[in-house]
Amino acid sequence: MRDASFSICKAIAIILVVLSHAAAPGWMAAFVYQFHVPVFFICAGYFFKTEYLDNEKPYIAHRFRGLYVPFVKWSLLFLCLHNVFFWTGILNERYGNAAGGVLHPYGWHDFSQRVWSCVVNMSGYDEFLCGAFWFFRAFFIASIVFLLFMKLMRWTRGFRDERGLGWGVLTLSFVLTTWLVLEGMRATGVAQGGYRELTGVFFMAVGFLYRRYREHVPGGWWMALACFAYLAVASVWWPSAMSPRADFGGFVSLLAGGTAGFYLVYILSQKLATAGGAVARGLVYVGDRTLYIFAFHLLAFKAVSAVKVACLGRPWEQVGWHPAIPAASSWDLFFLLYVLAGVGLPLAWLAGWRAWRRRHPAPAVTPAAGARLVLAGMGRVLLLFVRLLRRLALAVARAARSLWEGFKGILEASNPRDE
């Protein structure tokens, strides 16, 4: 029978991610920032199988299809719609993020550069509407690096069993990230420097080890209360987040907060899974579709921003606030509506799309028919290329002929016999 605890765990984490972007009260955001993203890395490490060390192709293919392909597809979609969002006022050059930055419409050069960046190193996406897309890159790279570190540890004497492998990767990732942070370095070629990716490897090692020591780790409500108390104190005295860069204190605080937050959420998830009912089923549904919420919750926020602008009589351009319109007062509860829309609208769109596809299924394509379509497409591209070459050759020939005629005219005009 399937254990629904981890699906519920991921559901709670993605709801907290949406909450942290929804202009929630500062103390609430500071509390959840410590652990909401690390939960996903720990869950991934928990389910990592050592059999991938001898057959890595399924693992890499799964990560490629599940992270890189959606990232490229969705980021390019947002790039194509970027200027459209400006025409509708969803984005504008007056209102932006809390730091005062704004976006501008893209010209052809900017658009082209961003397309290349999206495809080559998973960067260049729309910074506002795709502001959470760094997670796709960090998760993808961390997963591959975790696999490589595991293979490296297996070649090292003393790290042959599963627990040894986990401790080896945990130690290696901690040492490398400490070096990166203390020296203020960046991983060349990795957008934003690689700090998130290395901390992701650490948290995957935490999840991998938790599965091997699970029966020895105390649980229950008292343990959940202890984790909650630590997170409450740390959010005030040692605040942390999985930001692009951090000092050493913030790095250590993130490791502790992420681990404690995962255990708190997982204990709650176990209790909810055991109780069952509609709440548990709903959370499982959300937890199995977290990537769609990651990708589209910031766009869904714009619907709530439009409502807030209308209710408060503010100018339409404020819809462009990123990620949400700041709270007007301590009693501004619009953040709850942001959370509801950020989770519900992407899932509603997904459900509607799948329902439409069921009613209008794509025609089945046999391998032979698919090969014919590919060959026909290649033939058309080749024919177009030949036509372009022919036109280019004709243009060059006409230019050469004109140049020669002009040169002949000059020679004839300067002939001394004419004098």
Among 359, 381, 403, which residue terminates a domain? Answer: 359
Omega prior to 323 cis, within 30 of 0? yes
289-340 pLDDT, tens digit per residue, is 999 999 999 999 999 999 999 999 999 999 999 999 998 887 889 999 999 9
Q: Evaluate if pTM is beyond 0.95.
A: no
Q: 171 with 313, same domain?
A: yes
Q: What pLDDT, on the 0 to 100 scale, is given for residue 220?
A: 87
Question: Do 106 and 132 lie in a common domain?
Answer: yes
Q: Tell whether the model's pLDDT for residue 365 goes beyond 70.
A: no
pLDDT tens digit sequence for 234-275: 999 999 999 998 999 999 999 999 999 999 999 999 999 999
Among 115-129, 133-147, 359-373, the range scoring the smallest mean pLDDT is 359-373
Do residues 88 and 151 share a domain? Answer: yes
Residues 12 and 133 in one domain: yes
Domain span including residue 386: 369-414
- On whether residue 364 sits in a domain, the answer given is no
Q: Do 351 and 373 belong to one domain?
A: no
Say whether both 105 and 228 belong to one domain.
yes
75 within 8 A of 59, measured Cβ to Cβ: no
Which ranges constitute the DSSP H helices of 155-276? Answer: 162-182, 195-213, 221-237, 248-275
On whether both 249 and 286 belong to a single domain, the answer is yes
> Is the domain of 276 the same as that of 380?
no
Lowest mean pLDDT among 98-102, 124-128, 187-191, 388-392: 388-392
CA distance 411 to 418: 11
| 408 and 350 in a common domain | no
Q: What is the mean pLDDT of residues 42-47?
A: 97
Does 63 fall in a domain? yes
- Whether residues 385 and 408 share a domain: the answer is yes
* Over residues 142-159, mean pLDDT: 90
Residues 316, 399: one domain? Answer: no
How many domains does the chain divide into? 2
Query: Is residue 129, in this structure, part of any structural domain at all?
Result: yes
pLDDT above 70 for 417 = no
Q: Is residue 419 part of a domain?
A: no
DSSP per-residue letters across 391-417 = HHHHHHHHHHHHHHHHHHHHHHHT-GG
Judge whether 75 and 118 are in contact, CB under 8 Å: yes
Token pair of 115 as six digits: 């397309």
